[in-house]
Amino acid sequence: MILHDSDLLADVPVVSSSEPLDQLDKMEEACGVFGLYAPGEDVATLTYFGLYALQHRGQESAGIATIDGETIHCYKHMGLVSQVFDEERLKTLPGQAAVGHTRYSTTGSSLVVNAQPAIVESRLGALALAHNGNLVNTVDLREHLQRQGCTFSTTTDSEMIALAIAQEVNQGKDWLNGALSAFIHCQGAYSLVIGTPEGIMGVRDPHGIRPLVIGILPGPTRRYVLASETCGLDIIGAEYLRSVEPGELVWISEEGMASFHWAQKPQRKLCVFEMIYFSRPDSIVNEETLYSYRLRLGQRLAQESQIEADMVIGVPDSGIPAAIGYAQTSGIQYAEGLIKNRYVGRTFIQPTQSMRESGIRMKLNPLKDVLQGKRIIMIDDSIVRGTTSRKIVKALRDAGATEIHMLISSPPVTHPCFYGLDTDTQDQLVAATHSVAEIKERIGVDSLVYLSWEGMLQSTGEAPEHFCSACFTGDYPIEIPEQIKRSKLILEDAVA
């Protein structure tokens, strides 16, 4: 039985042209997922806080489904977690387990009907599914499901995964085997949290492109938590246990947690962009915070480039750890040169053109007395289109900086992502169509240096083959079907 309490039928379109004012010219994270099995706890409120910590992974919609015996209670809507939920709303979500989701749309348009968790009925009751990632075989999967008589309420690949599981369950399988059979039909990136009347599951695709971690709540009984990142565990006082492995399914129920390694040849290919930018710096990957990794990126950048300057600044917030690392190794003084307005968030109010023009000043303001007469090294984590960088450089020059050297703690982004990040098409990526010298001219800096691909991956301390770095190389670890490629890549025959 499903109890929905959202305005799903309203199918409200969202103003899609408004760029998030705090993240112009960055690739957008697709989603954050969260789940827990904790009888006796206020699972809705714990999930609310978990999603609150994962807000950076998706700001378009938020949803929580709680499982109360046979019944799934669900509320989801457009907006930030704090806009969608309040105490009264959370009280309407009872249960012993919960699944939560924050979304930034990739597959599927910005409609409330596409908010997650996706809820689907089956022979054994309803399931609630939260997905981070992107399937690449949606055309084939849709046809496969249609042949089985499935109908779709949304335009998302996440609903397809939920329907595929329900189909297998309807053919007589239990939840576990139904899910394992369904994943055979799914190709691409998927980190999932799935709630059922009997327990919850955490799953990662065989390449583990998107992260998913397991934690445990303190107390005499073992109550497990799943989250996209460890910051989602920290906020509710859960202790980090480990990552869900690529190609692993963990089943959490009243009997505890069981692990199933279902993929034939799992091969870890964690998205390296999670390391350099997307995941929060306080989240842990490979037993250390990403802050430490990003510090090393800056140190490596200093080894790879020798530039004379008076001070190093970082573009808040994501460029700051690398800027500190650069200062440590180069011996050039680190300073704050740009202050971020932390209260400018994603907005559904459409800005006017003139507001758009001044978007940078809305979120970043230069410190004139710090910058006046100085030769500046400015460090950012990436350049996607280059539009924001140009505005920042102009603001620094207006503030009196005499030289601006831009250093990027990753290589040039030349290819789009098909695995769950909202990137532009290839022709919109400035490094796909311009040389470094041309980008330097467009941005208006005195010099422009990117970190090498080797430097980015060697700084992880792991073998390069453990990461996906396709947006820097075009070497996609999961094959992209031709019709999907054509939607984003510049293909020679398409140009001809």
- Please report how many Cα atoms fall inside a 13 Å half-sphere around the Cα of residue 324, on the Cβ side: 11
Contact set for ligand SF4, span 97-116 (CB under 6 A): none
Stretch that binds ligand SF4, among 120-128, 259-267, 348-356, 465-473 (CB under 6 A): 465-473
Q: What is the largest CA-CA distance in the chain?
A: 74
Structure tokens at 259: 């692990």
Query: Where would I find the H helices in 359-443?
Result: 359-363, 368-371, 387-398, 430-433, 436-443
Nearer Cβ to ligand SF4 (244/272): 272
Is 468 one of the binding residues for ligand SF4 (CB under 6 A)? yes
Contacts of residue 440, defined as CB under 8 A and 6 or more positions apart, other chains included, come to 406, 447, 448
What are φ and ψ of residue 236, in 5° steps?
A: -105, 15
Nearer Cβ to ligand SF4 (194/429): 429
What are φ and ψ of residue 4, in 5° steps?
A: -95, 145
Catalytic residue among 31, 231, 417, 471: 31
Stretch that binds ligand SF4, among 3-11, 309-317, 351-359, 467-475 (CB under 6 A): 467-475
Query: Where would I find the H helices in 184-289?
Result: 231-234, 272-273
- Please report how many Cα atoms fall inside a 13 Å half-sphere around the Cα of residue 154, on the Cβ side: 25
61-68 sheet: strands from edge to edge: 2-4, 71-78, 61-68, 97-103, 31-37, 223-227, 213-217, 239-243
Contacts of residue 159, defined as CB under 8 A and 6 or more positions apart, other chains included, come to 118, 120, 129, 152, 153
Contact set for ligand SF4, span 7-26 (CB under 6 A): none
Rounded to whole angstroms, the Cα distance separating 70 from 197 reads 6
* Number of residues this chain uses to bind ligand SF4 (CB under 6 A): 11
Rounded to whole angstroms, the Cα distance separating 379 from 364 reads 14
Nearer Cβ to ligand SF4 (377/421): 421
Nearer Cβ to ligand SF4 (47/426): 426
Nearer Cβ to ligand SF4 (62/421): 421
Is 271 one of the binding residues for ligand SF4 (CB under 6 A)? yes
Is 136 one of the binding residues for ligand SF4 (CB under 6 A)? no
Is 471 one of the binding residues for ligand SF4 (CB under 6 A)? yes
Stretch that binds ligand SF4, among 214-222, 223-231, 349-357, 464-472 (CB under 6 A): 464-472
Q: What is the DSSP string of 285-317?
A: ETTEEHHHHHHHHHHHHHHH-----SEEEE-TT
Stretch that binds ligand SF4, among 41-49, 270-278, 296-304, 366-374 (CB under 6 A): 270-278
Are 377 and 407 a contacting pair, CB within 8 Å?
A: yes
Contact set for ligand SF4, span 413-452 (CB under 6 A): 417, 419, 421
Q: Which of 31, 272, 378, 396 binds ligand SF4 (CB under 6 A)?
A: 272
Are 376 and 370 a contacting pair, CB within 8 Å?
A: no
Nearer Cβ to ligand SF4 (75/467): 467
Stretch that binds ligand SF4, among 57-65, 356-364, 379-387, 466-474 (CB under 6 A): 466-474
CB of 467: closest distance to ligand SF4 in angstroms? 7
Q: Which of 470, 478, 480, 484 binds ligand SF4 (CB under 6 A)?
A: 470
Rounded to whole angstroms, the Cα distance separating 420 from 17 reads 20
Nearer Cβ to ligand SF4 (83/428): 428
Q: Which of 34, 273, 277, 334 binds ligand SF4 (CB under 6 A)?
A: 273
CB of 130: closest distance to ligand SF4 in angstroms? 19
Binding mask 171-210 for ligand SF4 (x = CB under 6 A): --------------------------------------x-
CB of 133: closest distance to ligand SF4 in angstroms? 9
What are φ and ψ of residue 59, in 5° steps?
A: -120, 10
Binding mask 376-415 for ligand SF4 (x = CB under 6 A): ----------------------------------------
The closest alpha carbon to 4, from 66, 81, 50, belongs to 66
- What distance lies between CA 120 and its chain's CA centroid? 24
Rounded to whole angstroms, the Cα distance separating 62 from 117 reads 9
CB of 201: closest distance to ligand SF4 in angstroms? 23
Nearer Cβ to ligand SF4 (183/419): 419
Q: Is 74 noted as a catalytic residue in this protein?
A: no
Q: Which of 182, 469, 484, 489 binds ligand SF4 (CB under 6 A)?
A: 469
Burial 135-145 (b: 16+ CB within 10 A, else e): bbbbeebbebb
Active-site positions?
31
Contact footprint for ligand SF4 (CB under 6 A): 209, 271-273, 417, 419, 421, 468-471
